[in-house]
Every structure is written in structure tokens, then in C-alpha cells.
Chains A and B, each alone.
Chain A
Amino acid sequence: MSLIAKGILQGMAVTAKNFIQSYYKKERLPTVEYPEEKSTVNQFTRNIPFLVYDGEDEIEGMRCTACKLCEKACPPQCIYIIKDTDENDKPIKRPKVFDIDSSVCMSCQLCVEVCPFESIRMDSEFELSNENRFEGLLINRDELLKSNEYYHEIHPIEAQETDDRIAAKIAEAETKKKAREEKARLAAEAKQAAAAMKAAEEAAAETETSATEQAQQSEAKAEAPEDNPETKNT
């Protein structure tokens, strides 16, 4: 009995403590009264994807190349992309239509993982309610496009990492390009030298070409298929 009574009194003390402290201790009353106050968003909040663009112009700075990898990766298939075309009806690397159905998106971030161009990123916007439950919930390209500065604002660490990665990529491309140019230059030089040498050699060796060597080569070619019968079947 005394054990039970003690347990009951201890329990009552706990609830009384919670009751009383909820009036003056913040951690005992963590409720945020939403429409009046908003403090729930921090830089680790992720809700729905958006498209990043660099610089001033939305269309020019768009990072997305309409590669449609995110469209394929999205598990509930809520991304819809149509490639843009230029005046001559040739497809160009930019989406004309980029829709995300916010009523379907499950905030899984797979599209972010898959994008090779650091274009699609998660937003922390959570007030997505709308009066029209069909078109209103379909977010189109122009609404999705948000500047890199905005990205820095909401997810500073991640945005910085992304920027660094892009810079590294560009730098790498630069060095590669330089290396390629160097190589090309060397190759061209070598070619020139070789051509000069060849011209000299050719003039000397033209007379030495024998008919017997040519015959041996053609024999070897005829034997090769018999060694490997499988190649025929395949």
C-alpha cells in the first residue's frame, strides 16, 4: 500500500510540476502559436524543391539543363519537364515546363540527390496552402525559380558547399581544358615533326617494299576465325 501511495504521490508531484512550470518556463510549454508566430524554420528544414538560378536573370541563369534525371528519380512522379526549343525547333538545354505537384511531393529529396547540375534544391517554405486544390497546388517553373542568394539565405552551409563544388568543377574543367590544349599543341608539334620525318623516310624506303611480306599477312587473317568458333555464333 505504502508503495502504491508513494507512487501515486510521486506521479501527482510530476504532473503538478509540469502544470505549474508551464506557466513560466519556456521549455515546459514549447507550443508555437502558428499564425501569430513563426519560429520553426531553421536551416535544416526541408519541405519542397525549388530551382536555383545564378545571377540576375531567371532564364539565363537557370542551372537546370532539362536532363530529366530528377523526373525519373522522383518516386511519386510529381515532376513534369518539357525541354525548351529555339526558333528553329531545335531542343536546347533548358526546361520550358517544369512543374512540381506539391500535393504529391513527399519531400524525399531524391531529386536533389540525383541532379548533376546542382540545380534543384530543397526549400524551407511551408505555407503552401491554396484555395484552388488543383492548379493552385501545381508549382510551375517561374514559381520554382529562386535566386542563389535566396538559397544562401535559407540554407547557408549547404549553399556554400554547393558553390564551392561548382567552383571546383569549373576550375577542374579549366585545368582539363588547358591540359587538352597543351596536349593538342604538343600533338600538333609532334605531328609536324613526324610529317617532316616521314616525308624524308618515305622517299628512302619506297623501293624496299617486298611482295612476300604482303602474302604472309593475308594468310594470318584467314586463319584467325577458325581459332575462335564462338565468335561465329554470336
Chain B
Amino acid sequence: MNNFIDYKLIELGQWTVGLFNDYPVVQILVHLLLATLPLTLVFMGAFGFSTWLERKGLARIQNRLGPNRVGIFGLLQPLADGIKMLLKEDIVPDRSDKLFHFLAPVMLMVPAFIAVGFLPLGDGLMALPMDSAILFFFAVGSLNTIAVFMAGWSSRNKYSLLGGMRAVAQMISYEIPLVLSAVAVIMFSGSLNAQEIVASQQIQSWLASGNLVKEFFGQILGWHIFKPWGFAGFIFFFVAALAEANRSPFDLPEADSEIIAGHLTEYSGFKYAIFFMAEYISAFAIAGIATTLFLGGWSGPVIAGLPWFIIKMFSLFAVMIWIRGTLPRLRVDQLMGYAWKFLLPLAILNIFVAGFYYFAEQQFGSLAAFIGGWVIGFGILQTAAKGLSRLNKSPTLDGKRVYQLVE
């Protein structure tokens, strides 16, 4: 089998746990640590790396060099930043709600790390193996709305409050298309279990055939993104995920040109760093779940398992950076309109398309369903998108704008 890395890691874990067979209490603790500690460390490292990646990527997009002084290629820049953040004074506004001001970053970080625990990093590599992992992921993921609003409210600052209010409006609105576009996948694979969803994206008969070419493509062609509803669903999911993770162009809660830094305005020092870490880790988590749902999770040719998952997750994150370097921020009304008047109806329609596709596959075989699905199903989705955008068009954009001169 080619996902040997995962098996080796699991074996290593089992061997370590086996060392403590005589001390059951210690064994439980070790088991807990083995599940959580590597994940925490790895994702913290990934956070550092991704800040570097983001700064470098944005710099290159803007024809700059980016950080290149600390370490080779500036790779140690995150470390320097971390030390700097640690050494900074932690300023708490005098009349803020001190308890909630303190709790907000914690509240944001805990669900972010829990959400990471539900990612199927590899074959059997999952910190919190659970049958309803996807459901739980979304449930935990929506907690960060509360944390952001806590930060905004407790700071006693108008910009913070505005940021918090925007965050609540945005996250609640985008949660719905996010979950609805995931529903199509859940329907199709008939399970909430992340591992089974990944397994449903591998063509099992090809994998078992023993033919190398078939094995190679069996790991790729089954991904949901190659199906019409999966492709559309992936786009809806990704857009909603950007909004959920507060990433540009949906970074309204911390729109620095309008409301300073939104809910982060009154935070400094390490709390600020924790906010950032939590946001990046949520972005990772959501990129990871998008990978699981639409991009075949850890399945992939030759080195299936952990490496493929990390490659896909980082690619999605790179696309997020790319989008950040390209698109301007939306206006609040555009943001809300886009979620409710455009994404939501399309996501619901997508569920129907997925349902029809499912039955078509059973009725006419997968090839016919594939071709017909792309022609008919995608056509329906595209027509619907066109119609919706025509319905949503604001009257001023029709034809020329008329300006009235002041007499």
C-alpha cells in the first residue's frame, strides 16, 4: 500500500502507548498527549510558516522581496516576530471588561484547535476520531463568532464594537452556504465520518484491481471536485470559507482602512498574536475540511496519506493568499447580499443537482452520469447563477449613471 507514512506514524503511536502497559493512568495521559501535542505543535509551526508564506507571496505579487533578513530567505522571521510579540507590553484598556477582554483570545483559540482535531490528516490519522466529525467541525467552528464579538464588546471601543458586529453578521450569514454546500457531499457519501467521505472519493474497484495505472487514477478521478455539483459546491464552499475565516476579500471585521483593526483594535502584545494564530489555524482547518470534502482528502497517487493532505491544504491556503493579493474588500451590503441572495439559493439548488446526479449514477452508470451531469447539472447551475445575478443587479449599474449637478 502506498500510504505507509500514515501506518508508520500510527505504529509509532501504538508502540509508545504500549510502553506504558503497566501503568493504565499514565497510559491514558500519554495517549491524550500523543493525540494532541503533535497536532498542536505541527499546526503552530504551520502557522509560523504560513505567515512567512503570506508575507513572501504578497510581497512578490507587489513586486517586493518580502522578509529576507532573519535566517535564510527570512524563514526565521516568524520566530523573531513571536519573540517581539512576547516582549511587548500587554495593554488592557482602562474601562474595558477585563475578564472578557482576556477570555476572547482564548475563546478563539480553543475551537480553532478543536476543529483541527477533526481533520483526517491521513489514513486513520485523526486526533479525534468521531462518526459525526464533519457536523462537529462546523458546530465548533461557529464558536469563533462569539469570541470575536466578545473581543469587540469588551474592548469598549467603537471600532472594536463595529468590527464585532460585522463579524457576527458575516459569520452567521456565511455559515449557511458553507454548511449547505457541504451537505451535498454528505448526502453523496452518506456519512458524516470524515474518513468515509475520503474513502467515497476513491474509486475502490480500481484501487483493488492491482493495475498500477488504474491505482494511480483511482486516487484522483473520484474527487468530488470533478463532478459538476462538487465543482460548484467547492466554489461556494471556498467563498464561504474565506468569509468564515475572515480572509480577504471578506475581512470586513478587521477592515483596517475603515475601522482601524476592528475587534483587534484594543489588543496588543501576545494576545494579538494569539488572535492571529487562531485566525490562521481556523483558516487551515477550513482549508483542510475543504480538502476533505471536495479534493479527496488524503488520497492521491504514489504518496497517499499525510503528504498529500498537507500539500492540498497548503495549496488552498496559497490560493487564499493569492486572492488576498488580488481582490479588494467588499462593502458590507454587498457582502450580506452576496451570501443571502446569491450563494444560499445556489447552494440549495446544488443539493438538488447532487441528488439527481446520485440517482443518475445508479441508473445509467458513472460515465453517462458524469457527462450528462456536466452538461445538464452544470448548465442548470450556471443558468441559475446568471438569473440570480440579473435579479440582484442594482438599478444604478444598468446603463449609464446619471449625475445631477448642484445648482
Residues of A at the B interface (CB closer than 8 Å) are: 1-2, 4, 8, 11-12, 14-16, 18-19, 22-23, 28-31, 33
Contacts and interface: CB of A to CB of B under 8 A. Distances in A.
A18 B389 contact: no
The listed residue with most B CB atoms (<10 A of its CB), out of A1, A12, A14, A33, is A1
A22 B64 CA distance: 8
Chain A interface main SS type: helix
Nearest to B387: A1
Contacts of B326: 8, 11-12, 14-15
Contact of A19 (B57, B65, B385, B388): B57
A29 B63 contact: yes
B388 A33 contact: no
- Mostly helix, strand, loop or mixed at chain B's interface? helix
B325 interface: yes
B385 A22 contact: no
B322 interface: yes
Interface residues on B, range: 10 to 19
29 contacts: A1-B385, A1-B386, A1-B388, A2-B386, A8-B326, A11-B326, A12-B322, A12-B323, A12-B326, A14-B326, A15-B61, A15-B322, A15-B325, A16-B322, A18-B60, A18-B61, A19-B57, A19-B60, A19-B325, A22-B60, A22-B63, A23-B60, A29-B63, A29-B64, A29-B65, A31-B63, A31-B65, A33-B65, A33-B68
Given A11-B326, A29-B64, 8 more contacts: A1-B389, A2-B386, A4-B389, A12-B323, A15-B61, A19-B60, A19-B325, A29-B65
B60 to A, nearest CB: 5
Contacts, number: 41
A23 B68 CA distance: 14
B209 interface: no
Interface string B368-407: 0000000000000000011011000000000000000000
B62 interface: yes
B327 interface: yes
Nearest to A21: B63
A24 to B, nearest CB: 12
Contacts of A4: 389
Interface in B65-108: 65, 68
B65 to A, nearest CB: 5
Given A12-B323, A12-B326, A18 B62 contact: yes
Contacts of B325: 15, 19
Contacts of A16: 322
A40 to B, nearest CB: 16
A154 B385 CA distance: 64
A59 B290 CA distance: 77
